[in-house]
Amino acid sequence: MTLRQLLLSTWDWNLLLIAGCIAALFFYAILCKLKFSGKSVFFINGVVLFFVALDSPISFLAKGTLFSAHMIQHLLLVLMIPPLLLLGLPAPSHRPILSLASWIKHPLAAWVSGAGAMWFWHIPAICDAAASNEFIHTLQTFSLLFLGILFWRPIVGPHIEERLSSLTGILYLFTACIACTLLGIWISFSTLSVCPVFMRPEDPSVSPLIQGWGLTPALDQQIGGLLMWVPTCLVYLGAILFLLYRFYRQPGKVVSFPSKEKRKK
Amino acid sequence: MNRTSSPPSVEIFHAKNRENNFFSWIATVDHKRIGILYLLTAFFFFGVGGLEALVMRLQLMKPNNNLLSPDTYDQLFTMHGTTMIFLVVMPTLIGFANYFVPLMIGAKDMAFPRLNAMGYWFLPFGGLLLHFSLLAGGAPSVGWFSYAPLSETPFASSPGVDYWILALFALGIGSIATAINLIATVLCLRAPGMSIRRLPLFTWMVFINSFLLMLAIPALNAAIIMLFIDRQLDAHFFLPSHGGSAILWQHFFWTFGHPEVYIMVLPAFGIISEVIPVFSRKPIFGYEFVAASTVAIALLSFGVWAHHMFAVGLGQPMDIFFAAASMLIAVPTGVKIFNWSATLWGGSIRMTTSMLFAVAFLLQFTIGGLSGVTFAVVPIDWQVTDTYYVVAHFHYVLFGGSLFGVFAGIYYWFPKMTGRLLSESIGKVHFWLTVIGFNMAFFVQHFLGLMGMTRRVYTYPDLPGWELLNMISTVGAFLLGISVLVLVWNIVISLRRGAIVGGNPWNAWTLEWATSSPPAKHNFDQLPPLHGRRPLWDLAHPENRDEPDASREKLKETKMDKNKIGMMCFIASEGFFFIMLLIAYIFYNFNQLTNPGSQWLNPIKTGLFTFCLLSSSVTYWLAEKKLETGSQKGFLLWLAATLALGGAFMAGQGMEYWELFQKGLRAGTNLFSASFFMVTGLHGLHVLIGLVCLLIVLGAALAGDFKNGKTAMVKTVGLYWHFVDVVWIAVFTTIYIVGVRT
């Protein structure tokens, strides 16, 4: 297989996925009553990115060939797509679309789902299972997306009053960055294989190509770990700067925790 | 004070004499006096470190010189580096922070005045420990970053390194204490109207810097504790010949070391951000950008340490990612440079000495910053690492940057601290001597480095051009020495004859200028109204306020509990420390196929004692509940139960240690035993401290201290106790559940 073939012929064109994406856009159009705004760009980009993450060669390589490709997919699903979707959502009307239990809305639960999404799916046995079993892979995909949405709700969620105050939000993101850094350090420096499936790719036709790049499994894992470590923290840093921007833009107005009186309502 | 006893006859107990007595300076808890003590101590060590540098420059004046022996030279550069970083730059900046942060936010003092005094006294103590090595068989001679295995016993057998470790540990404790204090001060003691959005930039940067201190120093502490265990208990953490890893030392050290670079420069940025607007008669350009870029720098600084290690051979992916991150950190720094330049643009600039230093800072720091970016390019780094190019770079950052900022601060704030202006004419002499001397001394070192002159070698061969450039550098260094004498002269003369000034000689805008010079002990008689970032401007120009729209001022500041904030910060710092220790444990034990010793661990038995420790958290929680409902007896009962359970845990750990000792396991036996005893031992030490705290709570309870509802102490100790338990969960999971292989 050549690089050209890899980039062109490994797209999945899964009908279910395409239908799902179109349905999401359709649903979105209904939700904002066909009044598209600048915000819509975020949502549409989120859906496109979701399609790319699950349909492109990234997805092909992530299924047991390249650990670093898996990591890109993983990070797109937790870190990039959820905030884009959330930013694109119109301000909610009175009736919540998705009513979540109150404990799941708690920032601590949200934080744990974000960090947990990173750690849980990199326990060696579970990581292996997800990369080799189609069902578990799908489960992984949707759990990552769901956990990612939970994680980003307190920062960019559509319910303004449920967002964290900017300075608390910075703490929230900073600690999340530490959690990912530790995982990234472990993956990069571990001499053991985090996800042994990637040591022996199922599709032998790709192996010569990858070996041609000089990518050994150890190197591949190191890149994966570094992806979890450096770019991830840059995303959090970007979000922190965004929060600071929001903080300084609203002088005198305090965006605070949902106070107890509001919850009673 | 006990009022019933006879009136004290000693003079210092009389209020009048207490004010300006020598002992009153030792016993002081006034943030202004502590600030001055910091500055004076740092200035003293600046003299010491400077003399060390001058002796080194004499040695390097000509090729093949033998003024100094290689070993003396090694000791000198180690002491020079350690002194300048830990005993000069950090305490100077902390001293300014101590003096001016409470003033700038309109507070009476720091959040914890006595903790503040403790933080200061660790500085002379650390300085003494470091210099005591001279009497104990020679100063450390392994460089300020003490690379292992050179710093291990086989290669550095004199106790110099041990004193270096103890000194750094003492200084680190002091710095963390002050950092926590500053954070609590900024969060809890701001005057009404001084919202976080309106913090003067110096305060903001000190605030962010305090987080860096709080989180970076634990990494150093973990590293030096491991080195100390290596040296004192014959372990081999960093000795590759016995299976240890010298590279781990580098990782740990630079995890601290790179944030440290920003620790030494962020408060200087803050000083510059105060000085430039005042002497340009303009508000700072893009306050938000300067403030936000500080946060970006602080966060990025934790993620770029590996660029100090490109020459180690970490592998290509590592190099690429860290090169990219290292280049990125130049962006927020560049943003600041542009903001300062834009503040100058179009302003009516007053070239006072303070402003001169600030402008020189801009130029020199930019040079240092740019040469810093070149290290992010891996091949260039390989070429110039360990040469004088590096020496030139960090002197441009630390002297041309930090110290020039400090000088700007001295000229700017001296009238506030003493009530007298520093002489401007002597100041100009000082400035020009410093600029010329500094650039002569260090600019040529760029060329020397590129020509291949290696740092830390006591002499050099007679190659073309080297002697001339080194001579220029030495002459420059001596000009710098003279410039410091000029500064001392200026201070001495001005203290006696300087022009007496009022509260606000520079027409500045921040709150510290709203009180007399020097400020009264309680800082402010009355605070001006706070409507914006420049309260004194608003006061003088009520028709032209910075934030004219008063209707938007619905400030709903939540009152924060300083005890809670302080304890949370301490816990965060300690948490980082234990994360580093656990990383070390995992590093030494999880990658090895065999785990000699870990088969003797008994997870079930230890699990039992773990249960004791965890339930002690529950009993403490119950005790707090009882206290809330007012049941003194129930509180005492549950508190005693907590103590008993904590004691049981300690007894259990003692038993486990005894059994392992019986089997011949010592700290120095192998890497497992060393890391096991280190992690569990340090945790045990924390439990012990917790138990002592609980005993104090018990004593206070028996004395009836909590009957009036003042339960801050109970809550604060509770936080610590729960933290100790959480750490144990992590330790137990790592060592006894995941780590044990049968």
pLDDT digits 0-9 by tens, B566-599: 999 999 999 999 999 999 999 988 876 566 777 8
Q: Please say if the pLDDT value at position A45 is more than 50.
A: yes
Q: Closest CB to B295: pick one of A189, A222, A244.
A: A244
Q: Closest CB to B556: pick one of A185, A247, A254.
A: A254
pLDDT band at residue B315 under the 50/70/90 scheme: confident
pLDDT of B23 reads 82
Chain B residues with beta carbon closer than 8 angstroms to that of A222: 315, 317-318
Yes or no, beta carbons of A252 and B553 under 8 Å apart: yes
pLDDT of B5 reads 47
Q: How big is the CA angle at B690 (ends B684 and B693), to the nearest 5 degrees?
A: 150
Q: Which of B187, B188, B197, B579 to mutate to test the interface with A (most CBs of A within 10 A)?
A: B197
Yes or no, beta carbons of A189 and B587 under 8 Å apart: yes
Yes or no, beta carbons of A190 and B590 under 8 Å apart: yes
Chain B: residue whose CA lies nearest to A252:
B553
Yes or no, beta carbons of B295 and A241 under 8 Å apart: yes
- The pair of three-digit structure tokens given for residue B658, joined into one six-digit string: 């005894």
pLDDT of A128 reads 87
pLDDT band at residue A251 under the 50/70/90 scheme: low
Residues B276-284: what's their mean pLDDT? 95
pLDDT of A253 reads 45
pLDDT of B707 reads 79
Q: Please say if the pLDDT value at position B6 is more than 80.
A: no
pLDDT of A264 reads 38
CA distance B579 to chain A (A): 9
Give how far Cα B701 sits from Cα of B629, B697, B708, B709, Å.
15, 6, 11, 11
Report pLDDT digits (tens) over A71-97: 999 999 999 999 999 998 887 765 555
Q: Please say if the pLDDT value at position B2 is more than 60.
A: no
Q: Closest CB to A252: pick one of B299, B300, B555.
A: B555
For residue B518, say if its preceding peptide bond is cis, omega within 30 degrees of 0: yes
Residue ranges, comma separated, of all CATH 1.20.120.80 domains in chain B are 569-738
Report pLDDT digits (tens) over B354-394: 999 999 999 999 999 999 999 999 999 999 999 999 999 99
Report pLDDT digits (tens) over A171-183: 999 999 999 999 9
- Top-ranked range on mean pLDDT: pick from A24-33, B190-199, B411-420, B665-674: B411-420
Q: Which of B287, B299, B301, B595 to mutate to test the interface with A (most CBs of A within 10 A)?
A: B299
Residues 6+ away with beta carbon under 8 Å from B524: B106, B108, B511, B514, B515
CA distance A25 to chain B (A): 35
Yes or no, beta carbons of A219 and B317 under 8 Å apart: yes
Report pLDDT digits (tens) over B119-178: 999 999 999 999 999 998 889 999 999 998 999 999 998 899 999 999 999 999 999 999
Chain B residues with beta carbon closer than 8 angstroms to that of A247: 197
- The pair of three-digit structure tokens given for residue B255, joined into one six-digit string: 């995890």
- Alpha-carbon distance of B536 to B538, in angstroms, equals 5
The CATH code that applies to domain B25-545 is 1.20.210.10
Q: Please say if the pLDDT value at position B516 is more than 80.
A: yes
Chain B residues with beta carbon closer than 8 angstroms to that of A176: none
pLDDT band at residue A208 under the 50/70/90 scheme: confident
Yes or no, beta carbons of B317 and A230 under 8 Å apart: no
Instruction: List residues in chain B touching A: CB distance below 8 A.
Output: 195-197, 287-288, 291-292, 295-296, 299-300, 302-303, 315-318, 321-322, 324-325, 328, 547, 552-558, 579, 583, 586-587, 590-591
Q: Please say if the pLDDT value at position B456 is more than 50.
A: yes
Report pLDDT digits (tens) over B55-98: 999 999 999 999 999 999 999 999 999 999 999 999 999 999 99
Chain A: residue whose CA lies nearest to B289:
A245
Q: How big is the CA angle at A223 (ends B262 and B370), to the nearest 5 degrees?
A: 30
- Alpha-carbon distance of B257 to B243, in angstroms, equals 25
Q: Identify the residue with better confidence: B529 or B262.
A: B262
Comparing B422-431, B481-490, B514-523, B571-580, which segment has the lowest mean pLDDT? B514-523
pLDDT band at residue B314 under the 50/70/90 scheme: confident
pLDDT of A73 reads 94
Residue ranges, comma separated, of all CATH 1.20.210.10 domains in chain B are 25-545
Q: Please say if the pLDDT value at position A257 is more than 80.
A: no
Report pLDDT digits (tens) over B219-243: 999 999 999 999 999 999 999 988 8
CA distance A36 to chain B (A): 31
Distance of CA B563 to the CA centre of its chain: 21
Chain A: residue whose CA lies nearest to B211:
A171
- Alpha-carbon distance of A256 to B10, in angstroms, equals 54
Comparing A201-210, B19-28, B492-501, which segment has the lowest mean pLDDT? A201-210
% of chain B surpassing 70 pLDDT: 95
Comparing CA positions, the residue from B98, B135, B144 lying closest to residue B512 is: B98
pLDDT band at residue A260 under the 50/70/90 scheme: very low
ipTM exceeding the 0.90 mark: no
pLDDT of B601 reads 87
Q: Closest CB to A248: pick one of B197, B303, B321.
A: B197
Residues 6+ away with beta carbon under 8 Å from A11: A55, A56, A57, A60
B479 C-beta neighbours (distance < 10 Å), count: 19
% of chain B surpassing 90 pLDDT: 80
Yes or no, beta carbons of A230 and B303 under 8 Å apart: yes
pLDDT of B480 reads 97
CA distance A238 to chain B (A): 9
B25 burial type by CB count under 10 A (0-12 exposed, 13-18 middle, 19+ buried):
middle
- Alpha-carbon distance of B126 to B221, in angstroms, equals 14
Residues A104-118: what's their mean pLDDT? 89
Largest CA distance in chain B: 85
CA distance B312 to chain A (A): 15
Q: In one letter, which amino acid is B326?
A: S
Chain A residues with beta carbon closer than 8 angstroms to that of B315: 219, 222
Residues 6+ away with beta carbon under 8 Å from B245: B237, B238, B587, B588
Report pLDDT digits (tens) over B686-725: 999 999 999 999 999 998 888 777 788 899 999 999 999 9
Residues B617-626: what's their mean pLDDT? 94
The values of phi and psi at residue A136, to 5°, are: -65, -35
Place of tokens 């999945």: A12
Residues B391-420: what's their mean pLDDT? 96
Q: Which of A186, A240, A248, A262 to mutate to test the interface with B (most CBs of B within 10 A)?
A: A248
CA distance A26 to chain B (A): 39
Residues B535-546: what's their mean pLDDT? 87
Instruction: List residues in chain A touching B: CB distance below 8 A.
Output: 167, 170, 174, 177, 181-182, 185-186, 188-192, 219, 222-223, 226, 229-230, 233-234, 237, 240-241, 244-245, 247-248, 251-254, 256
pLDDT of B554 reads 53
% of chain A surpassing 90 pLDDT: 45
DSSP string, A15-42: HHHHHHHHHHHHHHHHHTTT---HHHHH
The CATH code that applies to domain B569-738 is 1.20.120.80
pTM attached to this predicted model: 0.92
Q: Please say if the pLDDT value at position A261 is more than 50.
A: no
pLDDT of A98 reads 58
Yes or no, beta carbons of B315 and A248 under 8 Å apart: no
Torsion angle of C-alpha atoms B276, B280, B285, B291, degrees rounded to 10 = 20
CA distance B591 to chain A (A): 6
Please state the domain extents for chain A.
3-264
Comparing CA positions, the residue from B186, B191, B180, B181 lying closest to residue B202 is: B186
Residues 6+ away with beta carbon under 8 Å from B5: none
- The pair of three-digit structure tokens given for residue A111, joined into one six-digit string: 């934080």
